[in-house]
Structure 1
Amino acid sequence: MLNFIKSEYYRLIHTTGILIFFGVLSGLTILLILGISAVKTQYHTTSFSYSILVSSPMFFTLMGMLTASLLYEDSKRNGIIKNSIANGIPRRKIFLGQCIISVTAATVIMTIVLALWIFTTELLLDKTGPVHMTDLLMEIPAIYLIAVSSIVLTITLSLSFQNGAFIFFTWLFVFFIFPTILFKFGIAVSAHFKTDLIYNISMWMPSNFFQINTANVNMSSCITAWDTTGGMLRCVIAGISGIVIFMIIGFRHISKADL
């Protein structure tokens, strides 16, 4: 297991796609903040810069999915898994190793990009407005485990399918489309049958409770899902639940699948 992870780390730092991804994110971050700072408008503030990320926590789940996809989308097609199995590495350890490598890569990339975002924001923009650096920093523990669950799901899908578009749309359905459908269905059931069960279940899905609770992040206020202990706890529980569910599915699949 340890040797497999070491070899995957070596492959990680020599993967052109992931290096380009990191470079593009870093470049876009600098260009965005420079663009905001170039013109003296009401948006020339640290608050506006931070609100871009604070109001869009699910952005980090997308970045996690893209990182895992760049690393392992073609691992089944190009024979990496078969070679690992042939070398005596158990299937479950391969799956777990891919998850660890992807989470590590995504964590390093996002840490550097966020540090760059904060540095350029503090350096170039006026320090005014309701959204502060602390709001962004508190977003990290709130969204981190949910982003990890996004990575685990992506690895599971990559082991199941070879079509990148199908993997993306399946991920999109799980994280956004299905929660939205359940949320709207829950509202309808609540209105007609006076029961909030389905609605309450839907509100444990990250895209739903973030959409509701970050709707007040703007130029005049900052109210987020993680402002309260209960809200932060909901984020953490949702993340852990997602990781456990997708890990179980991944372990079951890789034990039986024809790889």
Structure 2
Amino acid sequence: MQTLSSGDSEQASSLHQRILDDIESRILSGEWQPGYRIPFEHELTEQYSCSRMTVNKALTQLAKAGMIERKRRSGSFVSKPQSQAAVLEIHDIRDEVEQLGLPYRYELQKSVSRKSTATDGKKLEIERNTPLIELTCRHYAGKRVFALEERIINLLAVPDAAQTDFSKQSPSPWLVACVPWSNAQHAIRAVAADENVAAILGIPAGAACLVIERQTWNAGQPVTYVRLTYSGDSHALVARFAPNQG
């Protein structure tokens, strides 16, 4: 049996770590998107001038960490990260993305101050012609849009929102930090992506999406309504229950 010298062992260990670091950085930066096929073992062996065993060890470690999926005869693919959000919490999307180990980026697409319509009234229980601000935002995980946020804020309840620059900060953490709320309601739906949402999320039209609609109130006064749309294969909701003691 052939044994490795201490120099050979150190070189193999160094190459193993280099392969790990290279693949991990490409996944976390978004360069290699979910579903991307990683080069085959023999290709990586040639690229790094190392043994197939060293490559296999690195890929096995990445698979155990959940970053890649290894499929027999097909190769290795970047895993589709799945975030989890608690149903009964108001959470920051930045935290969801960072928990996946991906870089977060926020982008304001639309900000309009206007009077409410009958449709707004159904969403937020406000009278017609109530002053409000309408926001459309994108939240990114790496290079991919992670969630589409569509929100209206009641300016009678939150007048400071009219002077706030939401291109610099996401509305959800700003509202949580600046505006008290006493009640909230979540509605959760599975919907098929229309052409506009599909284009934004980078998924086929008709693909399943998870939609969370939330309303919040402060002492009975409506504060905000938000509709969050996620690709259905990348998001899950969780809730913790206790038995009724009554």
Instruction: Tell me which interval the TM-score lies in, with the shorter structure as reference length.
Output: under 0.3
Higher strand share: 2
The structure whose Rg is larger is 2
Question: What is the TM-score of this pair, normalised by structure 2?
Answer: 0.22
Normalised by the length of structure 1, the TM-score is 0.21
Which structure is richer in relative contact order (CA contacts within 8 A, separation 6 or more)?
1
Q: Which structure has the highest helix share of the two?
A: 1
